[in-house]
Amino acid sequence: MEDDPLITLKVLDLEGRRVYHTMRMNNRLQGLMDAYYKKVADVTYGSGTFMFDGSIRLRGTNTPAELDLNDEDEIEFFPTMIGGGSVGA
């Protein structure tokens, strides 16, 4: 197992909440996302965007190795931002 090391990734959302998740480099990132949604109860499952460095989007099928993620890297979580509907605020 030496070529598939464990890394710990941190999810930080816009509210400042942090969720840590330890996984293997070749595991799918869906696990990280599920862990975040499980911890943070008020965010609807699957409703936001995970990003690294403000530009690289994480998809559940990707692995940290594919996206060049390292131990201790921080992932941002963005809840869906919507606006412009016709319902009066």
Partner 1 sequence: MTLGAVADDMEAGGGEHNGRRARFTEDWCCCACAGLFLGPNPMMARYLYALIFLVTNLLAWTLRDYGNSALAELQRLKVCQGARYCLGAEGVLRISLGCFLFFFVMFLSTVNTRKVHDFRNSWHSEWWPAKLVLWLGLTAVTFLAPSPLVQLYGKVAHFGAGAFLVIQLISVTRFIMWLNDWCRSEITQKRCHLQIQVVSIVTYVGSLLGIVLMYVWYAPSPSCKLNILFITVTLVLVQLMTFVSMSSKVKAGYLAPGLMGIYVVFLCWSAIRSEPHTEVCNRKAAVATSADWVNIASFVIAVIVIVAATFSTGIDSKCIQFKQAEGESEEDDIPYGFGFFHLVFAMGAMYFAMIFVGWNASHTMERWTIDVGWASTWVRIGNEWLAAIVYIWMMIAPVIWRTRQKTNRTPSLWAECWLIGPSSNLVGQNLNFMGQKLVEWDKKNNRGGKIMDHIDESSAVEDFDNRPSKKIKCSEPEFLDSDRKLNSDPIPSPASPSIQKLSPIIELEDKQACEIDDDQQLQEDKQIKVDTYYVPQDKQMAELIDDEKQLEEYKQNKVSTYDYLPQDYTMTNLDICAQIMIETSFENDILVKMDEICVKQHQLLCLLDQSQWLNDDVISAYICCIRDQLHMQNMDDAKICLENPFITGLLKRDGNIGVHEDGNFITEIVRNYLKHEMILLPVNIKDTHWYLAVINSQKYEIQVLDSLCWEFNRADLTIMLQGLQYHLDILESQKNLRNHNWKDLQVTKWPVTEQLREPIKKDR
Site string for partner 1, 21-50 (x = CB under 8 A): ----------------------------x-
C-beta of 38 vs 59, nearer to partner 1 = 59
Residue in 32, 30, 82, 86 with CA at minimum distance from that of residue 61: 30
Member of 4, 5, 6, 14 binding partner 1 (CB under 8 A):
14
Cα(86)–Cα(89) distance, integer angstroms? 9
C-beta of 38 vs 78, nearer to partner 1 = 78
The b/e string for 10-40 (b: 16+ C-beta within 10 A; e otherwise) is ebebeeeeebebebebebbbeebbebbbeeb
Place of tokens 């710990």: 8
Q: Is residue 20 near partner 1 by the rule CB under 8 A?
A: no
Q: Is residue 78 near partner 1 by the rule CB under 8 A?
A: yes
Residues binding partner 1 (CB under 8 A) = 10, 12, 14-16, 49, 51, 53-57, 73-74, 76, 78, 80-89
